Amino acid sequence: MRISFLLHNAYGIGGTIRTTFNLAEALVPRHEVEIISVLRHREEPNFSLDPRVRLRPLVDLRTERDDPRHLRPARVFPAAEYRYSQYSALTDERIAHCLATLEADVVIGTRPGLNVHLALQGPREAVLVGQEHLTLDNHPPGLRNELRRVYPRLDALTTVTHADAAAYQRKMRLPGVRVEALPNSVPPPALPPADPSAKIVVAAGRLVRVKRYDLLIRSFARVAAERPDWQLRIYGKGEERDRLRALINELGLYNNVFLMGAAPAMEAEWVKGSIGASTSSFEPFGMTLVEAMRCGLPVVSTDCPHGPAEIITPGKDGRLVPVGDQRALGEALLELVNNDALRASMSEGALVNSRRYDPVPIIEQAERLFTELHEVKASGRPRVSLGARVGARLVNRGHLVRDAAFAAAVSTLRTVRRGNR
């Protein structure tokens, strides 16, 4: 099959980019695969990519940032989408032309705004698959209503957790659209597993408020007080760096807690530790949890929506603690810090349990999904509607009305604010 991915910016750093590259590389030995990057801002991608995967940018910001069309707002990409400010009349034009001339059997969008383009402009003879790398509940009401309007034109929608797939089935009416959970995959590490005797806790991700690294640092203060020989290393960059640095200094943890900056090859950093940590208020999946576990680190994580509870088996490969609970987090970390045997046992559990995220079974699931949908499309048979029950339709209608009311209220508030300026 000819398979095309539509990606926001393949030249950046992020979980969606990483998992798209992983999936494309796994498919390319048996299929013709390309990644279409709407934006490009540098010569080469940050992540390596199999040369057999074609990479095609649509808008090069290095030379087209000042194009007059790029200064006009987008009309197709939804205004309520998080990345809207980066889209424009120029991206509208390039995406539309690309999709109109695309010769592919399967086209996969990788974020809601691009899924809207795909639903409205995707080649009708191709299988159209929208991917959700965040969650339905994370989207603003205005965006959810836009998705309700156009997503029925897709052939399938994949989510990274079963919980989010259930949310789409419960809150959206998508007759004939196949909704399926397709977790992100993480390849097996090329390095030997982490040494459980290492006295290092590792965390990784963007330094932004939702990751709650301030909570992790405050909780680690308790660990450092009892076990000053232990370190916390936080990898990533972002807007919270200065605030976190000030907190480290305020708590006197400059000999125990270190902001390590970004590390494109995190595998080499995970294996230096013996415990992984995640303190997010929200995680659509939890890619770093799987990465840490695949390197042999048990993970202490907040039990936030939606991913951690589907990834971690408490007592076997890590611990789950309530969101925002500094005391519970500190106790869970200390339990592993102070118990070498438990840490070693959970390390082995992490290695074993994380194998379910190996690319092989996940690629097989994705390939099976694409093949089945392609066969239906090629046969000319109509998509099968599951016929939502009356009760389910009423629930969907309730969510629609509620989101419409919220969206209208937000629009009215913006109008009032503009009028008061």
Nearest CA among 24, 64, 31 for reference residue 47: 24
Query: At what angle are helices 390-420 and 162-171 packed, to 10 degrees?
Result: 90
Q: Indicate if 107 and 42 belong to the same structural domain.
A: yes
Pairwise CA distance, residues 159 & 321, whole Å: 24
Final residue of a structural domain among 147, 181, 215: 181
Q: Indicate if 247 and 135 belong to the same structural domain.
A: no
The token pair that represents 128 in the structure block: 């159209």
User: Quick one: pLDDT at residue 410?
Assistant: 41
Determine the structural domain holding residue 285 and report its residue range. Answer: 200-356
- Helix locations, 28-153, DSSP H: 61-64, 89-101, 112-121, 141-150
- The CATH code of the domain that includes 250 is 3.40.50.2000
Digitized pLDDT (tens) for each residue of the chain, 421 residues in all: 999 999 999 999 878 998 899 899 999 999 999 999 999 999 999 889 999 999 999 999 999 999 999 999 999 999 999 999 999 999 999 999 999 999 999 999 999 999 999 999 999 999 999 999 999 999 999 999 999 999 999 999 999 999 999 999 999 989 999 999 999 888 899 999 999 999 999 999 999 999 999 999 999 999 999 999 999 999 999 999 999 999 999 999 999 999 999 987 899 999 999 999 999 998 889 889 999 999 999 999 999 988 899 999 999 999 999 999 999 999 999 999 999 999 999 999 999 999 999 989 999 999 999 999 999 998 876 665 444 444 445 455 554 555 554 444 444 444 444 455 5
DSSP 8-class letter at 385: P
The answer as to whether 382 is a domain residue is no
Pairwise CA distance, residues 314 & 322, whole Å: 13
Q: Indicate if 208 and 165 belong to the same structural domain.
A: no
User: Quick one: pLDDT at residue 382?
Assistant: 65
Which strand (E) or helix (H) includes residue 282?
none
User: Quick one: pLDDT at residue 412?
Assistant: 43
The answer as to whether 34 is a domain residue is yes
The answer as to whether 24 is a domain residue is yes
Q: What is the pTM of this model?
A: 0.80
Final residue of a structural domain among 337, 356, 375: 356
The answer as to whether 31 is a domain residue is yes
User: Quick one: pLDDT at residue 380?
Assistant: 79
**Domain count across the chain:** 2
Q: Indicate if 210 and 173 belong to the same structural domain.
A: no
User: Quick one: pLDDT at residue 14?
Assistant: 79
The answer as to whether 61 is a domain residue is yes
The answer as to whether 272 is a domain residue is yes
User: Quick one: pLDDT at residue 141?
Assistant: 95
Length of the chain: 421
The answer as to whether 145 is a domain residue is yes
Q: Indicate if 148 and 243 belong to the same structural domain.
A: no
Per-residue exposure over 350-361, b if at least 16 CB sit within 10 Å of its own CB, e if not: bbebbeebebee
Q: Indicate if 27 and 166 belong to the same structural domain.
A: yes
Q: Indicate if 243 and 326 belong to the same structural domain.
A: yes
Q: Indicate if 168 and 225 belong to the same structural domain.
A: no
Q: Indicate if 170 and 240 belong to the same structural domain.
A: no
Q: Indicate if 156 and 235 belong to the same structural domain.
A: no
Final residue of a structural domain among 181, 209, 244: 181
User: Quick one: pLDDT at residue 386?
Assistant: 45
